[in-house]
Chain A
Amino acid sequence: MKDMQSVDVLEPYTERQIQYHDGSERALLLKDEEVPFPEGKLIVSRTNLEGMITHGNYSFVEMSGYEEEELMGMPHCVLRHPDMPSAAFKDLWSTLQRQEKWHGYVKNLRKDGRYYWVYATVIPNIRHNETVSYTSVRRKPSRSKIDECIQLYAQMIQEENQT
């Protein structure tokens, strides 16, 4: 994936290198600024079995800060924020592999370096007993749940860094 570009991110920002589970790396530009979840909406996206984005509704595209053409075919971790522990996504993928539904609070990174919190539900799309793709639907989380997750995820990341 292409590094984040300083033309896309207003100063001030901090630079961070992230490593994805496949070993690839990307330079991130991060701003400490939250974008509120759009009222009354659902953020919907779909991926293929490899986690490449194949569909996104209007809110998904709008909240990501990217153009729709940029997102299609991208791995979904383009939205991964470094404040999210890897364990959360490991759990997501192993849950989907069992053809079960996953729920979780997720902090997502936008193209402009800002972030947004969601409560996500991800399911396997099953046709004739086979998983053909995945759908994620995100809704507005409560502030108290976000606050709990900020603490929990920071702790998890600390533990992940120690091992």
Chain B
Amino acid sequence: MKYTMTVSPDFPLDHIAGWYIFNTWLQVKLGINIHLELYDNFDLQREAIERGEIDIIYANPFDASMLIREKGFTAIVKPHARADEVVIAAAIDSSIEAIEDLNPETRLAKTNDPDVNMIGMIMLEPANLNAKNIIEEQVDTHILIAKRIFSGHADIGFFLKDSYDSLSQFVRSQLQVLVSSQIDDITHTLLIGPNAKDLQEEIQSILLNMQDLEKGQGVLDSMGIKSWDIQTQEDAEFMIDLMDTLVD
């Protein structure tokens, strides 16, 4: 039996190698074959999920909802202290200093990361902004969002906080943060699909002790994850309920 693992396309690019190392480590620990398949974007990954090709996934919270409620996946762990938070930033020399200063026709640069965009739109509500009265532009990466702001093509941008923090000191010095979310409860989770149910308990117990196992800490470091925390099915259901209140 060969399993397929994938990672939400919004993970930081510097950690690609880390996920390959993790996959190798996990295969040795479990004594099974796992193929790591990475997709360039959310659409390609969703198609693979629809075809039933995915057994293990490090999922974005949005995909986690669909995977758990519709596809029979089970949540097992989440990264320690790594909630998905969002920064809305403008140019440092912009006259905008707070969300409430924003007006209709504000030009927004964003990526196609669904939970970042959802949280970002919620943080624009205090200014009565919504999808109908802003001008949106989608770009591929967070660094391109910064560039659209610097070139004057965008007034504000939505950044995953982790990506914002990993921008260079110089880039960040040209930006000002209008608001930074502190939601805590929305996070990526590692899910196991129905075809790999047999592995669920073993993978969970290995990952919860990963930092103490041989080479475990080094592998975690390469993925930019400190350790794994347990995510029970009810924890995951709670997160999905929370997400439900945020979408219309």
| Interface residues, chain A, with chain B CB atoms under 8 Å away | 38-42, 44, 57-58, 101, 119, 121-123, 125, 127, 135-137, 139-145
Contacts and interface: CB of A to CB of B under 8 A. Distances in A.
B179 A40 contact: yes
29 contacts: A39-B179, A40-B179, A40-B180, A40-B182, A40-B183, A42-B183, A42-B185, A42-B242, A44-B242, A58-B184, A101-B244, A123-B241, A123-B245, A125-B237, A125-B238, A125-B241, A127-B237, A135-B241, A135-B242, A136-B245, A137-B245, A139-B122, A140-B125, A140-B126, A141-B126, A142-B126, A142-B128, A143-B100, A145-B128
Interface of B: 100, 122-123, 125-128, 179-185, 237-238, 241-242, 244-246
Given A40-B182, A41-B182, A125-B241, A137 B126 contact: no
A122 B244 CA distance: 10
Contacts, number: 55
A121 B122 CA distance: 12
Given A139-B125, A143-B100, A145-B128, A41 B183 contact: yes
B229 to A, nearest CB: 17
Contacts of A139: 122, 125
Given A57-B184, A125-B237, A143-B100, A101 B245 contact: yes
A57 B125 contact: no
Given A41-B182, A125-B237, A142 B245 contact: no
Most buried by B among A101, A137, A139, A141: A137
A16 B184 CA distance: 37
A39 B126 CA distance: 10
A129 to B, nearest CB: 12
A41 B181 contact: yes
B179 A44 contact: no
A141 B181 contact: no
Contacts of B242: 42, 44, 135, 137
B181 to A, nearest CB: 4
Contacts of B179: 39-40
A41 B83 CA distance: 13
Given A121-B246, A142-B125, A142-B128, 15 more contacts: A38-B182, A40-B180, A40-B181, A41-B182, A41-B183, A101-B245, A119-B125, A122-B245, A125-B241, A135-B242, A136-B245, A137-B245, A140-B125, A142-B127, A144-B128
